[in-house]
Structure 1
Amino acid sequence: MLNGNPEREKGHKLAIEEQDNQKRKRETSFSPSPEGQRVQRKQKRVQAGDMAEVKNMFKTLMEEIAEMKKDQRAYQTEVTTLREENQRLTERLERVEQHLEKLEKSERRNNIVIKGGKLQGSEITAEVEELLKNKVGIQTEIQDARLVSEKYDIVVAKIENWDTKRAIMKQKNKLKGSKTFIEDHYTKQESEIQKKIRGIAAAEKTKGVEAKVEYKKMIWAGEELKKNM
């Protein structure tokens, strides 16, 4: 109660009215107009649409990544399969090469190579037999002989058996001092090994060390050095 004071009552009413005005202003400031509300709703719809589009884009991106990973796994599996197949083929090729090497060695087992023998006539087989008899001291029957290089005067001859072949190889030193040489009929692999051994022997000889080259080995200063390759 304001004790019946008109002035005080009037002031109190004005204060209440002012409070109401302030309240309405605040409510008006936070409550948009109908047009503003429509704009806000539109903005919300746009934002919701943008969010949905972003979600769809993200979903599509994740699906593409998953597909790429799937393709990558398939590619890696294919590469692994190809590598395994290549390894199997390599191993198979090595086995075939080893088998061919054995066959070639067996075929050449009783062969000798004669270099510088001037054996270029029409009767090479008879000429080889004559050379072995007169210069090596081995009388044998040659199964086959052929001129493989006229330029370098190289003849390959097949001896009748292994024992005779070894006897020839042991007595070939009788040709020392002449321009005629007798060697084993090496395969390509054996030739490469012998070439390396001869290289080692040549290097040792330059040092004054006596070195003798034999099949897959070298007699070096009285000791045997094998070239296992």
Structure 2
Amino acid sequence: MAAPLPLTIVRNPVALATHLAEHQMPGQRSKTAITLLRRERARRNAPMSTPPPLRERARERLLKRIDQEIEHRGGETLIEGNFGNTYLEISDRRDRLVLAHAEGWRAYGKQSARRSRLSYLWGPDDTGSGPWAVRVPGTVTTVADALEWLTPTEVKKARDKGLRVRRQGDVYAVETTPAHDGKGVLPDSHDWRPKTRHLVHQPEDGRRHRPLRLPWPVRFVAQTAYEMGRTNTRGDAD
């Protein structure tokens, strides 16, 4: 029985091809054929990649939806740095609402990098429509703090009194007396139809939102948030 070939020959396609040819051994192949054969065997025998856990895949899908909505509204979804980018991550979740946050060093051309933060509140409104996303201060990292910052004082006082409050996008419908029914501030994208008791939302982007039916007397309060982009100016939140 022939002695096994040394590993130095077996592992080297050139040496193995030369040895097989010189000794007229079966299985003669060129070094190229041996290399290709081994690559093919390695590919076939490679262990199957393990898919990410279900929870991680669900998280990635949610982040993708959040990024798409923020970009649709003209917002940033990452902080660009000289040595890499920092992307939004889920910081907090509560009652179908999500707080997305990023914190990193932003590059400013030839100037020194500066610490930068991004925070957005994302979710559906009371009609189940959406999604929507609003920009809040970068220091905010929880849903509760984002809602506290976004909610007008008038709305907070109404809830403290036990009055009914509904929200459609950037408008709150607060329970009131019949004498004040339909009063308040409505952005151009909202239309109050008293005959049917429906608040209709028609955003500029043309997306349809479900009408919000309000059978009791209501007055309207507009919500504001930071405008998308690098500004501290507040504007309509939706």
Q: Which of the five TM-score ranges fits, normalised by the shorter chain?
A: under 0.3
Larger radius of gyration: 1
Higher strand share: 2
TM-score for the superposition, normalised by structure 1: 0.26
TM-score for the superposition, normalised by structure 2: 0.25
Higher helix share: 1
